Amino acid sequence: MSRTERYANLAGVVVPFVGVVAAIALLWNSWVDATDLAIMAVMYLATALGVTIGFHRLLTHRSFSTAPWLERTFAVLGSLSVQGSVMDWVADHRKHHAHTDVEGDPHSPHVGHGSGLKGLWHAHTGWLLETQGQADWKRYARDLYDDPAMRRIGRAFPKLVLVSLLIPTLLGFALHGWTLEGAVRGYVWGGLVRIFLVHHVTWSVNSICHFFGGRRFDIEDRSTNVGWLAIPSLGESWHHNHHAFPRSAHHGMRWYEVDVSAAIITAMEKVGLAKDVVRISPERQAAKAIGRDERVVAGPTAPAPSERERELV
């Protein structure tokens, strides 16, 4: 990773955190209302779904197909989450699946950085200063690399970061009576605080969902399901289910496993915006289930990987 890339990623971690500190001060002074929170919520949903549905289930795993214009829209929305370009994100995630919790995994809490808190730090944030964006596009994201539209969206990432901050700033400016105060509030809550939240929820899937939680499938990595994270992650925290069946559009595979992203994909399918939606039959799930349902995994005591079964895209 170059020094410029490292500094850019460090800014992406630190600046939203500074925004959260500023937001606490604004909250203390009652400089927040329903309008600010609504801007934050709308921006959170739009950009987080750009990651969960767009970057992840559509572009990385091809869990469903859709029209080119909608595919590119999701790629832009995912870019607005400020988690790196679409090319980098997809390549890193496919590399993660190819080497889950063994050498070569960009963000495992179990490999290369010790165990316990050191491993969790690396999986959650530390990897952004070392391995993020280093996966070879031609090897891990060839389909996107061969798509001129996706390459353009990837190259536009720095501009899309500015757009991601400009949109809530303009919304705050307009919805608060065309005032400078409103613009600042939109920038802080809909911009910096929202980016901070989307970042740390996503990074928690990398860290917490490979360290604590439950397992019910016989797979070789250390992924886990973490129920309390399901709603903010829009279904991504059923991560063990996902690693058992990477191409599944539904990560929540039981009625109580809330998966907002899967529900939206199903709605898209009903109105003709999604097709070829991949679902896993109960028989396939049962064939891969372990003997004791929902075995608890607690950090480094999780079983080490054995023979590896890969199912990328």
What pLDDT, on the 0 to 100 scale, is given for residue 1?
A: 55
Amino acid at residue number 68: P
Asked if pLDDT for residue 293 goes beyond 50, the answer is no
Of the ranges 29-33, 188-192, 256-260, 285-289, which is most confident? 256-260
The two three-digit tokens of residue 281, written as one number:
């039959």
Given pLDDT bands bounded at 50, 70 and 90, which one contains residue 127? confident
Q: How many CA atoms lie within 13 A of 293 on its CB side?
A: 4
Amino acid at residue number 173: F
Residue in the structure block whose two tokens are 């080119």: 68
Q: What share of the chain is helix, strand, coil (3-state, %, to 5)?
A: 60, 5, 35
> pLDDT for 166-208, tens place per residue?
999 999 999 999 999 999 999 999 999 999 999 999 999 999 9
The two three-digit tokens of residue 209, written as one number:
């969902």
DSSP state, 225? B
What pLDDT, on the 0 to 100 scale, is given for residue 130?
A: 83
> pLDDT for 237-257, tens place per residue?
999 999 999 999 999 999 999
Residues 23, 37: contact at Cβ < 8 Å?
no
Dist. CA 90–CA 164, nearest whole Å: 20
CA-wise closest residue to 50 among 245, 195, 210, 152: 195
What value does the mean pLDDT of the chain take?
A: 87
Residue in the structure block whose two tokens are 């400078």: 180
Dist. CA 224–CA 124, nearest whole Å: 15
